[in-house]
Amino acid sequence: MKKFLFGIVLAMTLVFTSACGNNAEDDAFTIGVIPAQTKGSMEDAMNKLQEELSEGLERTVKVEIYPDYNGVVEAMNYDKIDMAYFGPLTYVVANHESGAKAIITQLVDGEPYYYSYMITHIDQPWDSLDEMIKDSGQIEFAFGDINSTSGSLIPGIELENRGVFQSEEEHEFKSVRYTGSHDATAIAVQNQGVDVGAIDSAIFDELVADGDIDGEQIKVIWKSDKLFQYPWAVHSETPKETIEQLQEIFLNIEDEDILGAFGASGFTTATDNDYEAIKQAAVKQGIIKE
């Protein structure tokens, strides 16, 4: 069974430091993993990724764990890491604050895109966002992590544009909550703990494929425009040669355990321009101050 990186907005970091003297540990290339999924173990996949990177970079690779989105951004800001696996929103924040550069993203079914969904239980009467909004005063709505692109930022803007949401405290719904992860949102909708939830489309599809939720019990009532997949971004001072090495390594990864950890069919190159729409959305919401 493939393992996916779920919820808070799923995010992963790669960390390496400059060599000092002859100490090999000072030249380590460290992978930092946010354990955002709530099931299974990523250990085998991460060990294999570590081996791929060690061989390709010809340097020691280690694994470190970061507890949340903001921890990765702060680590990049304070020069504690040189490469990170960000969510699109956390990437544009890191790009703005420390000049992080996107160089790689994953492919899902051969495409570097995903969507934000709003989902509801099949027993609910709404088949579209317009129908749901008419009953907004009766609806308990769930976002995922507040720093998630598809679980918070993009659906939040859509609901704001529709005039029913401003913030967790100011809205037209019966209630608004943040579940903290995409899979928690899906489970809450399936169990009818909430009426409607916002979720990453790729994670939703993976949850259904893995049998973690019953797809026949849930319907999608809204789908966003295309969103570019989660980027791997390097520190602003990373040498061009290192960037090219990293891109070559990722583009040649075929191991199913590694790909499955990301729900990916492969990897492709990415640039900062791919995230311009997310950047503008973050500016609009005041997350990035220009």
The reported pLDDT for the residue numbered 6 is 38
Once rounded to an integer, what is the mean pLDDT over residues 141-147? 94
Once rounded to an integer, what is the mean pLDDT over residues 174-200? 96
Locate 134 and state its tokens.
């008419």
Residue 37 has pLDDT above 80, yes or no: no
Locate 223 and state its tokens.
């789908």
Once rounded to an integer, what is the mean pLDDT over residues 102-121? 95
The CA-CA-CA angle for residues 183, 185, 191, to 5°, reads 100
- CB within 8 A of 96, min separation 6: which ones? 279, 288
Once rounded to an integer, what is the mean pLDDT over residues 31-36? 57
pTM for the full model? Answer: 0.84
Residue 29 has pLDDT above 90, yes or no: no
Residue 67 has pLDDT above 90, yes or no: no
Three-class SS of the chain:
CCCCCCCCCCCEEEEECCCECCEHHHHCEEEEECCCCCCCCCHHHHHHHHHHHHHHHCCCEEEEECCCHHHHHHHHHCCCCCEEECCHHHHHHHHHHHCCEEEEEEEECCECEECEEEEEECCCCCCCHHHHHHCHHHCEEEECCCCCHHHHHHHHHHHHHCCCECCCCCECCCEEEECCCHHHHHHHHHCCCCCEEEEEHHHHHHHHHCCCCCHHHEEEEEECCCEECCEEEECCCCCHHHHHHHHHHHHCCCCHHHHHHCCCCEEEECCHHHHHHHHHHHHHCCCCCC
The reported pLDDT for the residue numbered 3 is 39
Question: What is the pLDDT of the chain when averaged over all its residues?
Answer: 86
Once rounded to an integer, what is the mean pLDDT over residues 127-156? 96
In this predicted model, which residue has the larger pLDDT, 33 or 16?
A: 33
Once rounded to an integer, what is the mean pLDDT over residues 176-191? 95
Residue 83 has pLDDT above 60, yes or no: yes
Band of pLDDT at residue 52, cut at 50, 70 and 90: very high
Question: Which of 65-79, 92-106, 268-282 is predicted with the least confidence, judged by mean pLDDT?
Answer: 65-79
The reported pLDDT for the residue numbered 224 is 97
Instruction: Please classify residue 135 by burial: count the beta carbons closer than 10 Å to its beta carbon, then call 0-12 exposed, 13-18 middle and 19+ buried.
Output: middle
Residue 60 has pLDDT above 70, yes or no: yes
